[in-house]
Amino acid sequence: MAGKFISLEGGEGAGKTTLIRKLKTHLENQGLEVIITREPGGTPGAEDLRDILLTGQTDRWSPVTEALLMYAARVDHVERLIQPALARGAWVISDRFSDSTLAYQGAAGGVDIARIRQLHTVALEDFYPDLTFILDLDPLVGLRRTVERGEDPTRFEMHETDFHTRLRDAFLRIASDEPDRCVVLDASMAPDAVYEAALEIMADKLGANA
Ligand code: T5A
């Protein structure tokens, strides 16, 4: 039986990585093989692209170039890691996927959404996650969390507040446009409360195994 593909989306510091670790442990306790991965990245070639995408000045690439680079990385990721894992029955959880391109390069960066959707079709046809969690959080709270972590900011974290507000609105719009696939989680709750809410949704949407 094919596995399931879950993506987590949201603004900076929303708590995706924290939630993914908990979901992995839960699913492994159900006897499932679980692969956790991230975008941009996830395979050696895509991680090379991640290095150039996340470093340098905010205007290092135009939003269209960013979208193309994100999709170059994504095709490698899907073909070499995600699809083979799903085919052998593993569950794959990715820290970001295609909705991030719609939100970051599209709604926040200014690339026409229809153009990004066309790019998706050219690159991956109708391949999408089975379930997407959108972690919704005030962007200032998320950015504060990343600052408190003490790492250097990425190119995207350095954008103005307006950019992060557009991102939040974009993710909420994606969730309301695609209610079968996407579920919004209130990421201002404590980590365990976010996890409990995610477990309930996963069981409801993906069935008994979850
Ligand atoms: N990008 C990506 C695009 O522009 N287009 C694309 O198509 C794609 C795929 C990736 C960047 O690339 C951009 C978007 C991103 O800017 P990244 O470093 O992977 O860069 O950035 P993020 O994905 O945003 O990852 P972060 O690690 O910054 O955030 P997370 O994973 O959402 O948050 P997490 O779990 O690491 O938590 C952050 C801090 O908050 C605490 C944690 O302990 C941690 O210290 N925390 C909480 N605190 C209070 N309450 C909670 N519920 C908490 N949950 C976590």
Query: What's the CATH number where 39 sits?
Result: 3.40.50.300
Q: Is 96 in the pocket of ligand 1 (CB under 6 A)?
A: yes
Measured in angstroms, how far is the CA atom of residue 16 from the centroid of ligand 1? 6
Position 141 pLDDT exceeds 60: yes
Closest atom, ligand 1, to C-alpha of 189: 52
Q: What dihedral angle (degrees, nearest 10) is formed by the CA atoms of 194, 196, 198, 204?
A: -160
Contact 104, 23 (CB under 8 A): no
CA distance 208 to 7: 19
Q: What's the number of domains the chain is made of?
A: 1
The pLDDT tens digits for 65-117 are 999 999 999 999 999 999 999 999 999 999 999 999 999 999 999 999 999 99
Kindly report the CA angle at 124 between 81 and 65, in degrees rounded to 5?
95
Q: Is 16 in the pocket of ligand 1 (CB under 6 A)?
A: yes
What does the block give as tokens for 189?
Answer: 């709750």
Range of the domain at 91: 5-206
